[in-house]
Amino acid sequence: MATLQSPAQLDYDAVRKSIADILEKEDYDDGSYGPILVRLAWHASGTYDTISGTGGSGGATMRFAPESDHGANAGLGIARDLLEPIKKKFPSISYGDLWTLAGVVAIEEMGGPKIPWRPGRSDAPDASACTPDGRLPDGDKGAAHIRDIFYRMGFNDQEIVALIGAHTLGRCHADRSGWVNPWTRAPTTFSNLYFQDLKTTKWRKKKNFTPLQYEDPTGELMMLPADMALLWDRKFRKYVDIYAADEAKFFEDFAAAFSRLLELGVKFPESKASATA
Ligand code: HEM
C-alpha cells in the first residue's frame, strides 16, 4: 500500500529497506542489481556543470528523452524501471532522491562505507532541463579528458581516483557500451580490489576486439583505456597507490566524494539543510 506522506515526513528507513530488498537477483549479471543502481546515481549526478549551474541529480532529467537516450545512459532504463515499484509505494519521494538513495543503499549493502545522504531534490516537470550529450566521461579517452569532465563538476585529482574506484563493482555489457567483462573477481562487493588489480595485473590489449580494452592474462577481467589512465598519469597514480594499500582510506575518501557528487547543483530546501536520513 502506498505510504502517503510529505517528503519531510517520509520514513526513509522504510525506503532504504525496500531498496535493499530488491538488490539480489540470481539471474541478473553477477546476482545483484547493486552495481547498476550505483551507475544510475552517478549518471544522474555527473551531468553537473559548475559554470552554468545546470545538471546534477536534482530534476532527475534522465526520465526524459533526449537524456535517457544518450549513449552513456544505455541500459540504465533497467535501473529506473527497477525502482518504479518503490516510487509507487512511496509516491512523495522525488525521483532524484530515490535514485541517489538507491546508489547509497546499494554501496552500503555491498559492504561499502556509509554515505552521508539527505533528501530534498525536486523533479523537473519536463525535458527542458535535460543536459546536452557529452557531459559524462568516455571510456576510450585518457587523463586529459577525465580531468576536463570531472574538473567541470568541481572535483580534484584525488576525488576523481576515489570515485572511479567504484569500478570495483559491476561489469561492462556488449549491448550497452560495447565493452565486455567485469573489472574484478568480486563485482558485487565494494572493496579496494580495483586498485590492487589495476596495479598488480599484467594488462594487455585485448586482441581482435573493438572497442579497445585491456585484459588480464586469463582474459576474464578488463580495464577501459580510461581506467589505464589512472595508472599511467603520475598524479592519478599517486592515489591509486594509496587506495590499493589502504582500504579504510579509500572508503573514507569515496564516501565523501560520492556524497558530494550526489548533491552537486541540488538546491536543498533551507529548512532541511542540516537534515540527514
Ligand atoms: C572516467 C570515468 C568513467 C568512465 C569512462 C566510465 C565508464 C564506464 C563504462 C563504459 C561502463 C560499462 C557500462 C556497460 O557496458 O554497462 C561503466 C560501468 C560502471 N561504472 Fe563507470 N565510468 C567512469 C566513472 C565512474 C564513476 C565515477 C562511478 C561511480 C562513482 C562509476 C560506476 C560504474 C559502475 C558501478 C558500473 C557497473 C554498472 C553495471 O554493472 O551495470 N563509473 N563505467
CATH assignment at residue 218: 1.10.420.10
Ligand 1, atom nearest to 258 Cα:
30
**Is 98 in the same domain as 27?**
yes
| Residue 181 near residue 171, CB atoms below 8 Å | yes
The pLDDT score that the predictor gives to residue 97 is: 98
Pocket of ligand 1 (CB under 6 A): 35-36, 38-39, 42, 75, 137-139, 146, 163-164, 166-167, 169-173, 176-177, 179, 224, 226, 258
Q: Is the pLDDT of residue 1 over 70?
A: no
The answer to whether residue 3 sits within a structural domain is no
The answer to whether residue 6 sits within a structural domain is no
**Is 27 in the same domain as 131?**
yes
The pLDDT score that the predictor gives to residue 269 is: 85
**Is 34 in the same domain as 53?**
yes
Domain residues for the domain of 78 are: 12-135+261-270
Backbone angles phi, psi at 182, to 5 degrees: -85, 165
**Is 17 in the same domain as 129?**
yes
The answer to whether residue 171 sits within a structural domain is yes
The answer to whether residue 19 sits within a structural domain is yes
Q: How far apart are CA 60 and CA 38, in angstroms?
A: 15
Which residue in the list 43, 117, 179, 203 is annotated as catalytic?
Answer: 43
User: Hey, CA dihedral for 55, 57, 58, 59, is it positive or negative?
Assistant: positive
Q: How far apart are CA 187 and CA 252, in angstroms?
A: 20
Which residue in the list 99, 117, 179, 183 is annotated as catalytic?
Answer: 183
Domain count, the chain: 2
Q: How many CA atoms lie within 13 A of 201 on its CB side?
A: 25
List own/partner pairs for 11-19 with CB under 8 A and 24 or more apart: 12/101, 12/119, 12/277, 14/90, 15/86, 15/90, 15/93, 15/98, 15/101, 16/101, 16/105, 18/86, 18/89, 18/90, 19/83, 19/86, 19/101, 19/102, 19/105, 19/106
The answer to whether residue 277 sits within a structural domain is no
How many A from CA of 4 to the centre of ligand 1? Answer: 35
pLDDT range class, residue 276, cuts 50, 70, 90 = low
Mean pLDDT for the chain overall: 95
pLDDT tens string 135-177:
999 999 999 999 999 999 999 999 999 999 999 999 999 999 9
The answer to whether residue 244 sits within a structural domain is yes
Rounded alpha-carbon distances, angstroms, from residue 39 to 35, 43, 202:
6, 6, 27
Q: How many CA atoms lie within 13 A of 234 on its CB side?
A: 0
How many A from CA of 47 to the centre of ligand 1? Answer: 14
Q: What percent of the chain has pLDDT over 70?
A: 95
Q: Is the pLDDT of residue 274 over 90?
A: no
The pLDDT score that the predictor gives to residue 273 is: 47
**Is 177 in the same domain as 98?**
no
Q: Is the pLDDT of residue 2 over 80?
A: no
**Is 238 in the same domain as 152?**
yes
Q: How many CA atoms lie within 13 A of 233 on its CB side?
A: 21
Tell me whether residue 183 is one of the annotated catalytic residues.
Answer: yes
| Residue 190 near residue 169, CB atoms below 8 Å | yes
How many A from CA of 40 to the centre of ligand 1? Answer: 9
Q: Is the pLDDT of residue 12 over 60?
A: yes
The answer to whether residue 126 sits within a structural domain is yes
pLDDT tens string 197-239:
999 999 999 999 999 999 999 999 999 999 999 999 999 999 9
The answer to whether residue 177 sits within a structural domain is yes
Q: What is the mean pLDDT of residues 248-265?
A: 98
Q: Is the pLDDT of residue 5 over 90?
A: no
pLDDT tens string 95-123:
999 999 999 999 999 999 999 999 999 99
pLDDT tens string 67-76:
999 999 999 9
